[in-house]
Amino acid sequence: MPQLNPSPWFAIMVFSWFVFLIFLPPKIMAHTFPNEPTAQSTQTLKTKSWTWPWH
Amino acid sequence: MTLSFFDQFLSPTLFGIPLIALALLLPWTLFPAPSSRWVNSRLLTLQSWFINRFTQQLLLPLNMGGHKWGPYILLVMVFLISINMLGLLPYTFTPTTQLSVNMALAVPVWLMTVIIGLRKNPTAALGHLLPEGTPVPLIPALILIETISLFIRPLALGVRLTANLTAGHLLIQLIATAAFVLLPLMPTVAILTTILLFLLTLLEVAVAMIQAYVFVLLLSLYLQENV
């Protein structure tokens, strides 16, 4: 069975780790996940009058 | 005739270029670089969703010491799942059906977990070789068995992936050949065989994903023991 033949095992190992370490990390790590934006309330806030407490 | 079914696993070369290299190199063109905008393309959104959810699922049972290995385990998952899935396309070569590729991935990764364990907490790492509460007469035998099971792990990881994918590809080819041969002789049976082939292909898509997940899950369990 040819798939069990380990013949160029070192070349295959070096190449697959080369691909795994050089090409994948920049591609996958470039994904960023911004925080979900919080919806602003549609109601306008009712502000109470402010009395200056030190007067 | 018997050997020709295994010919699909022969690493092919074209113009002196081994196609296993191309099969390992080309899948990553399917991963476009995300832009800094809020909304990306559909493919990128799907990939981001997968990466986010998978990392969350993976890190849930892992303790804090193992979290810094999250990106690395995620990379193994993406690597295996892309190659497994693309290998199911007709006329493609699947590098993960090769034992050498899988062992090349499994052995260093297993060695990493063992070395981390021996460096960080050698007592606990060696303590895993003897389960608690073992009767005294069993201790020597059990230590021997646990040591063997520790050292057989990388072999099991690599062979599991190879055997599953090989079996799947072989079954697909066998049933497809049967359907093709039966078509002029017994059309009804051939149609039934084609339906079976379709169902089997669905199963193989599932197997391609599940085997990548199993590899990564076992890796995270080995890591969990040692961090």
Compare all CA atoms of chain A with the CA of B20 and give the residue at the minimum distance: A12
Q: Is residue B40 part of a domain?
A: no
Over residues B198-223, the mean pLDDT reads 93
Q: Render pLDDT for B67-80 as a digit per residue (tens, 0 to 9).
A: 888 888 999 999 99
Indicate the helix (H) or strand (E) that contains A20.
helix A9-22
Residue B86 lies inside a defined structural domain of this protein: yes
DSSP string covering B83-100: HHHHHTSTT---GGGSHH
The total domain count for chain B is 1
Name the minimum distance, in Å, from the CA of B133 to any CA of chain A: 41
pLDDT, tens digit (0-9, with 9 covering 90-100), for B150-166: 999 999 999 999 999 99
Q: Which of A1, A13, A25 sits opposite B75 (nearest CB)?
A: A25
Secondary structure letter of residue A3 according to DSSP = G
Inspect the interface and report whether the beta carbons of B100 and A9 lie closer than 8 Å: yes
Predicted pLDDT of residue B2: 56
- Is residue B221 one of the residues assigned to a domain? yes
Establish if B209 belongs to a structural domain: yes
Asked if the structure places residue B175 within a domain, the reply is yes
In a domain, B18, yes or no: no
* B11 has a pLDDT exceeding 80: no
Tell me whether residues B48 and A33 touch, CB distance under 8 A.
Answer: yes
Q: To probe the interface with A, which of B49, B98, B105, B216 has the most A CB atoms within 10 Å?
A: B98
| Range of the structural domain that residue B103 is part of | 46-226
Q: Is residue B31 in some structural domain?
A: no
Q: For residue B10, tell me if it sits in a domain.
A: no
- pLDDT above 60 (res B3): no
d(CA B30, CA B169): 23
Q: Pick the residue from chain B with its C-alpha nearest to A24.
A: B75
Smallest CA-to-CA distance from B108 within B153, B138, B147, B149 is with B153
